[in-house]
């Protein structure tokens, strides 16, 4: 069943079939009354309907300034109406709400920077997703990733033996480059637990290879966990399944705690960073994460500035840098990212707007995870990103985030931008000196 203008995918449609009016009303009111408080009330009552948030949203800008796609417009069509009707909303309304909250919002939080009052509209879209989750009408593909999280504690149904096999396979391959290279599994007391998202072992195992080479060359005392808890991704965080989301984050921290590592370094992923640095910890009652969580960007910066790895020859092609929401607006790493690019590339051009103000890749916030049925609209909905990229004239687009990477690959192909999309790790791997770090040399 392919989505059309008036229908969504199988999971949503069949879910809607099952719903009764009584359950809809009860669920909407339960979430809006019991799971919110003064913060939500203040957001609703403070909004002056000024429309200034519109300029923030790539969906609005990409659709010829269609008011239906502006941030407050999305709130009007979901939350305000739910409040006004005291939860008595129809199935057609809910179908529209699923489209708005899951497919037309990246929860990128850019609009908080365009609302003069700093109203957190992404928070309200996540509340809508929470209602959708409780009504069991979450889009099919993203719900499948949550089911996988629930059953396996990783996002992609990777079995335990497959995970360990993949790591050993990458280790074996990398030993052709470095004779003594290891991917140490479950090494207690290591300085670093390195963690990745499940798509890496599933279909991008080369990234684990690269990371292992970088770790080895830098002479780090590191380890990777063999048991469930190795995956730092968290799709439940984006479907409003807070209970599963909290479970995922807890398993992750517990794995690090059991290995007794000093800190956690993670691969180039944005949403996973948001989960283990900002969101998952809260559900587990940690104001801030119980471990020092270091994003790859920050880690590369540390390795380069400390001279643990050296660059033989800077990357020569003209590059531009995409600021992933969850590490720029989400962690302020944008300036560090530029320094890393400066240390590794010789020809860098900015895209505008940038840093905290950068447009989302259009894939984030679980949008790309709603799957292939919605790829077409995702392309239309991020025209503004394509224009921004085209204006740079760069040959290579560096995107230090998995979601951004996949989303931007799609954009680049769809709009025929003729750009290569790379991770920062790809650039470092290509340009670094492949020798083992010895202090003082």
Partner 1 sequence: MNAFIDFIMGPMVWISFLIFLGGLGYKLYRIIHEVRTKEGYVFSYLTWYHSLRSIGAWLIPFYPRATRQQPFFYGASYIFHLALFVVPLFLSAHIVLVEEAFNVSWPALNDTFADLLTVVIIASLAFFTGRRLIQPEVKFLTTAQDFALLFIVLIPFLTGFLAYHQVFAYQWMMILHILSGEFMLIIIPFSRFSHMITAALTRAYTGSEFGNVRHARDW
Binding residues for partner 1, rule: CB under 8 A, are 37-39, 41-43, 45-52, 54-56, 60, 65, 67-68, 70, 72-73, 76, 112-114, 116-120, 278, 282, 287-288, 328-332, 353, 356-357
Alpha-carbon span 7 to 302, nearest angstrom? 49
Q: Residue 4 is encoded by which pair of tokens?
A: 């059309």
Rounded to the nearest 5°, which phi and psi values hold at 249?
-65, -40
Alpha-carbon span 137 to 141, nearest angstrom? 12
Q: Residue 374 is encoded by which pair of tokens?
A: 């919605």
Rounded to the nearest 5°, which phi and psi values hold at 188?
-70, 145
Query: What one-character-per-residue DSSP string does 346-360 give?
Result: EEEE--SS-GGGPPP
* Spatial contact of 197 and 401, defined as CB atoms under 8 Å apart: no
Residue (307 or 332) nearer to partner 1, CB: 332
Residue (204 or 358) nearer to partner 1, CB: 358
Q: How far is the CB of 331 from partner 1 (least distance, A)?
A: 6
Alpha-carbon span 278 to 84, nearest angstrom? 32
Q: How far is the CB of 295 from partner 1 (least distance, A)?
A: 12
What are the strands of the beta sheet with 292-295, ordered from one edge? 222-223, 192-195, 263-266, 292-295
Q: How far is the CB of 352 from partner 1 (least distance, A)?
A: 11
Residue (72 or 363) nearer to partner 1, CB: 72
Q: How far is the CB of 116 from partner 1 (least distance, A)?
A: 6
Residue (51 or 393) nearer to partner 1, CB: 51
Residue (55 or 160) nearer to partner 1, CB: 55
Q: How far is the CB of 408 from partner 1 (least distance, A)?
A: 21
Who's near 340: CB < 8 A, 6+ residues apart?
Answer: 297, 300, 301, 304, 424, 428
Q: How far is the CB of 176 from partner 1 (least distance, A)?
A: 40
Residue 63: name the closest of 389, 378, 414 by CA. Answer: 378
Residue (25 or 354) nearer to partner 1, CB: 354
Q: How far is the CB of 36 from partner 1 (least distance, A)?
A: 8
Q: Residue 437 is encoded by which pair of tokens?
A: 């770090």
Alpha-carbon span 75 to 124, nearest angstrom? 7
């Amino acid at each position: 069943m392919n989505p059309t203008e008036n229908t969504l995918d199988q999971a949503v449609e069949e879910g809607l079939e099952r719903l009764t009016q009584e359950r809809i009303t009860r669920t909407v009111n339960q979430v809006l009354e019991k799971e919110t408080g003064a913060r939500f009330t203040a957001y609703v009552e403070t909004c002056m309907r000024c429309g200034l948030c519109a300029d923030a949203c790539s969906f609005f800008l990409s659709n010829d300034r269609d008011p239906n796609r502006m941030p407050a417009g999305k709130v009007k069509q979901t939350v305000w109406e739910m409040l006004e009707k005291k939860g008595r909303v129809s199935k057609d309304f809910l179908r529209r709400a699923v489209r708005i909250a899951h497919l037309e919002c990246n929860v990128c939080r850019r609009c908080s920077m365009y609302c003069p009052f700093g109203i957190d509209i992404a928070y309200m879209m996540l509340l809508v997703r929470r209602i959708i989750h409780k009504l069991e009408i979450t889009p099919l593909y993203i719900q499948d990733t949550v089911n996988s999280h629930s059953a396996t504690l990783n996002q992609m149904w990777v079995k335990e033996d497959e995970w360990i096999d993949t790591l050993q396979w990458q280790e074996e391959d990398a030993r052709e480059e470095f004779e003594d290279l290891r991917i140490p599994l479950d090494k207690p007391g290591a300085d670093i637990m390195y963690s990745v998202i499940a798509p890496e072992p599933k279909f991008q195992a080369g990234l684990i290879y690269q990371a292992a080479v970088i770790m080895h060359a830098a002479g780090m005392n590191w380890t990777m966990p063999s048991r469930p808890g190795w995956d730092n991704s968290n799709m439940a965080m984006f479907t409003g399944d807070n209970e599963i989301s909290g479970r995922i984050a807890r398993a992750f921290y517990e794995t690090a705690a059991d290995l007794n590592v000093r800190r956690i370094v993670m691969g180039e992923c944005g949403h996973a960073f948001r989960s283990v640095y900002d969101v998952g910890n809260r559900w587990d009652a940690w104001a801030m994460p119980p471990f020092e969580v270091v994003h790859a960007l920050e880690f590369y910066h540390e390795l380069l500035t400390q001279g643990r790895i050296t660059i033989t020859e800077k990357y020569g092609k003209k590059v531009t840098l995409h600021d992933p929401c969850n590490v720029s607006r989400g962690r302020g790493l944008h300036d560090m990212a530029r320094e890393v690019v400066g240390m590794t590339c010789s020809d860098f051009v900015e895209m505008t707007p940038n840093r905290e103000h950068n447009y989302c890749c259009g894939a984030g916030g679980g949008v790309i995870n709603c799957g292939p049925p919605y790829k077409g609209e995702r392309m239309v909905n991020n025209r503004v990103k394509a224009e921004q990229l085209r204006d740079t004239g760069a040959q290579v687009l560096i995107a230090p985030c998995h979601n951004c990477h996949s989303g931007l690959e799609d954009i680049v192909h769809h709009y025929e931008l003729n750009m290569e999309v790379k991770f920062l790790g790809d650039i470092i791997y290509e340009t670094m000196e492949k020798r083992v770090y010895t202090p003082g040399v």
